[in-house]
Every structure is written in C-alpha cells, then in structure tokens.
Amino acid sequence: QKEVEQDPGPLSVPEGAIVSLNCTYSNSAFQYFMWYRQYSRKGPELLMYTYSSGNKEDGRFTAQVDKSSKYISLFIRDSQPSDSATYLCAMSEINTGTASKLTFGTGTRLQVTL
C-alpha cells in the first residue's frame, strides 16, 4: 500500500462548480497536512496547511482532515478556469527533523471549463 494515495484524474468540472479533491494515507504518524497547487512547469504553491482534524477555511478553499479515517480533502467553491492546475496533497510527521520531510500524493489534475 502506498503511503499517500491520490486519484490522478483528470477531473473536469464546469465553472462555478464545487470541487472535491481527496487523499488517503496509511502512516498514522502523519500530523501535518498541506495542499499545494502546481501549474504546468512551475513549483508547488502552498494553498492550505493544517495539523488538526476538522475543517479550515480560506476564501474559496476548505481543507478537511479526518485522522481517524486517514482521509483529507480540499474543497474549492465557485471554481474558476484559473483554478485549472494539478493539486497535490502533502503530509509529514511531527517529530523533530521530519516535520518538513513531506510525502506527496501523485496529484489530481483539475480542469475547470467555461
């Protein structure tokens, strides 16, 4: 079983739709959870960051973490064509020295159409 699993997509939605992106993980030591957005030939751009179960909202983005199920989600409301990108989940353990050793999912490619 892979440490972090993420559906690669592609996921195509119409403009204005609510998008749900998900990752599952197997390592119960993961305590920090991040979502990055990556445009073609660019570096990952940090969108959301959380270390607790529950929801965290920032504008049109909501990150959700369920540690008991080892499942995280990113919701995008009112999706725009500019949201078209690959979305990467990433996570890390809490121990000293490993907090920034991120384990990434494969990324989900999102296409928002007009």
Binding site for other proteins (CB under 8 A): 32, 34, 36, 41-46, 49, 88, 90, 94, 96-107
Smaller CB distance to other proteins: residue 17 or 109? 109
User: Do the Cβ atoms of 33 and 51 come closer than 8 Å?
Assistant: yes
Identify which of residues 44 and 84 has a Cβ nearer to other proteins in the complex. 44
In angstroms, give the least distance from the CB of 6 to other proteins: 9
Strand bridging mode 54-58 / 45-50: unpaired
Tell me if 26 sits within 8 A of 103, measured CB to CB.
Answer: no
Tell me the closest approach of the beta carbon of residue 76 to other proteins, in angstroms: 19
List residues bridging with 69 in a β-sheet.
none
Name every residue whose Cβ is closer than 8 Å to that of residue 105 and which is 6 or more positions away in sequence. Answer: 4, 5, 6, 23, 88, 89, 90
CB of 102 to other proteins, least distance (A): 6
Q: How far is the CB of 99 from other proteins (least distance, A)?
A: 4
- Complex with other proteins: residue 19 or 63, whichever CB lies closer: 63
